[in-house]
Structure 1
Amino acid sequence: MEKSRKKFADIIDKAMVTANAMNRDELLFSYKGILYPVTFCSPEVFRAMESLEVRSDDIILAGYPKSGTNWVGQILSDLVAIFEKKTQNKESSVNDEELEEFPYLEIGDTGKYERMNKLPSPRVIFTHLLPENLPKSIFKNKAKILLLIRNPKDVATSFYHFSNGMSPLPSYETWDDFFIAFMTKKMPWGCYFEYLSEWNKYADDENVMTITYEELKKNPVLGVENIAAFLGISLTEKELQSVVERSSFQSMKKNAQKTHGAFGNVLFRKEVTG
């Protein structure tokens, strides 16, 4: 996964440079009542995204910002690599092709979704979006959805430090200023509590698996086993340990500059709960 994140790092680095020259009140725009960073998203991209035809064997990782999507995304990408090697007797095409398309569905250019149609299955797609703002084909075709949730106190704390370290997001002079924004629906990607409420409507669907950041951190071996079982991927003990080790905080932080560019220094700040 590390070698394939050049496009990821390039987009992040470019967004940070652009945002450095912008005023704070220029950093966010509103689309359908929700705020998004202008250096990552655009109304044109959101409209183009509606045309994406999601496949039944796609894997969707849904999580609010700072819930652990980059961490769990590493796990999913490794599991898909193992699946492809087992079923097609070849090294994963994910590393060479899929992750060269920015993995977050809502970030990119208007031509992204046409390019995605040419990518091989299974595709791993990340998103911070509410379910009603996703392409309808995700639910029509019953793509596998891994719903990741995290303790809101930890989400808020992590988001506060993240915002103050990422130029594309508004910074806050004090925790109180941030907390008011967090509790009054003024955050990029919307309100965390509304996010949980809307996604909870799909939690019992057979193609949806809910996992918490806390349970995965407490027992990553069991967590990876459960995710693999949900995806229908059988693992040897060696493969299981490899996935767990590659997705560890220490391993991902070590490769952060290469995989995430300047974003990595802010992203992998701590790995704590509570």
Structure 2
Amino acid sequence: MSTRADEGMAAGFSLQLVMTGGLVMPAGILHHITSMKERRVRDDDIFVCTYPKSDSRDFAGIVLTDTYINSVTHRTSLRTGTHWVWEMLNMAVAGEPEYAKHWQNCSFYESRTEDELDTLPSPRIIFTHLTPDLLPQDIWNRKCRVVNVQRNPKDAVVSFFVQHTNQNWVDKSRDPAFVGSWDNYVDAHIKGNVPFDSVMEHSLRWNRFPQEHPDVPFLQVQFEDLKKDAVREVQRLAEFINRPLSGDVYEQIADACSFSKLKYASENIKDQTFHNRWREGSSGYFRKGETGDWKNWFTVAQSERFDVVYQQLYNHPFPY
């Protein structure tokens, strides 16, 4: 009997998918996930937890070694909010609008080894695309601070598709992570037959987190709110991690993390160790930085089907 992982590959994924914890995952990180529960955690660790919108990084259908992951895995696009929030938190810890030296992938939980993560200075700002049930229990025992970033799930599907079909590998003869049609992709995503499972299921598990772990400091951030008032969101983040700053510093950080400036810094200032290659003509990590792009992709029928599944899961109409 075929699994949802098998069905995802049949829909057009060229990377190997597997089932773990009831979710569809890239096979290339399974060795990290299976040892995740035993990882060492520091009391002052800060976890940025998001759904991946660009996971062709994780792994083009081969069993990856840590060396391969170190050299070619890619980061989540800025427009998902992961990079945006991760950079803001780093600046809040530093107390000034100074860019982190490395790409955020230096702290990507499920692709870095434990020894590599141990080299990061405290407080470590770690990001992950895993759901709470796959992460170490010690995070909750130590009451580490957790920031969950979400966005319009239809926009997430579009961003996921674009990067799955544009990722360029070291071996240029290799297919991108997804070679099927947009219609096949939407169908696979609604069914949860994609790497890291459906954005709806992923977000639902994080929405339940405050009730399941009421003693753990938790802050949820919406990508759309970042777009509307980045200064306010910088303040929320800084206060959440007990690093309050002056109003002018909040404004400076928001300005430094604007789409154009963070794009420039990431491509011209930061250490490029974790930078990946993209297909010629691709916009790479920084595609648009906009909201509502799903309207240019979803057909009426696809959108209505998505809404029905959303309402079944969340027990309320699609809110966007």
**CA contact 1:52–1:113 (8 Å) conserved in 2:** yes
Aligned to 2:289: 271
SS of the counterpart of 2:205?
helix
SS of the counterpart of 2:146?
strand
Aligned to 1:27: 15
Q: Return the offset for 1:114.
A: 3.1
Amino acid corresponding to residue 15 of structure 2 in structure 1: L
Aligned to 1:82: 95
Distance across 1 between alignment mates of 2:160 and 2:39: 29
In structure 2, the CA distance between the partners of 1:25 and 1:192, relative to structure 1 (3 Å rule), is closer
My pick for the range that moved more, 195-204 or 143-152, is: 195-204
Aligned to 1:153: 154
**CA contact 1:28–1:35 (8 Å) conserved in 2:** no
My pick for the range that moved more, 166-175 or 202-211, is: 166-175
In structure 2, the CA distance between the partners of 1:25 and 1:200, relative to structure 1 (3 Å rule), is closer
Aligned to 1:130: 131
Show the 5 A alignment for 1:1-274: 26-32=14-20, 33-38=22-27, 41-66=28-53, 67-82=80-95, 95=101, 102-108=106-112, 112-167=113-168, 170-203=177-210, 205=214, 206-258=216-268, 259=270, 260-262=275-277, 265-274=283-292
Q: After superposition, what is the alpha-carbon deviation per residue over 1:243-270, rounded to whole angstroms, capped at 9, x for unaligned? A: 1122111112223434534369422101
Identity value in percent: 29
Distance across 1 between alignment mates of 2:104 and 2:209: 30
Q: Return the offset for 1:143.
A: 0.5
**CA contact 1:48–1:113 (8 Å) conserved in 2:** no
Aligned to 2:303: none
Amino acid corresponding to residue 290 of structure 2 in structure 1: V
Q: Return the offset for 1:55.
A: 2.1
For structure 1, the 5+ residue unaligned runs are 1-23, 86-90
Superposition TM-score, scaled by structure 2 size: 0.66
In structure 2, the CA distance between the partners of 1:219 and 1:100, relative to structure 1 (3 Å rule), is closer
For structure 2, the 5+ residue unaligned runs are 1-11, 54-79, 170-175, 293-320
Amino acid corresponding to residue 43 of structure 1 in structure 2: L
Distance across 2 between alignment mates of 1:271 and 1:208: 25
**CA contact 2:13–2:179 (8 Å) conserved in 1:** no
Q: Return the offset for 1:195.
A: 0.9
Superposition TM-score, scaled by structure 1 size: 0.77
**CA contact 2:17–2:24 (8 Å) conserved in 1:** yes
Amino acid corresponding to residue 287 of structure 2 in structure 1: R
Q: After superposition, what is the alpha-carbon deviation per residue over 1:185-211, rounded to whole angstroms, capped at 9, x for unaligned? A: 111111211111211121353500111
Select the structure of larger CA radius of gyration: 2
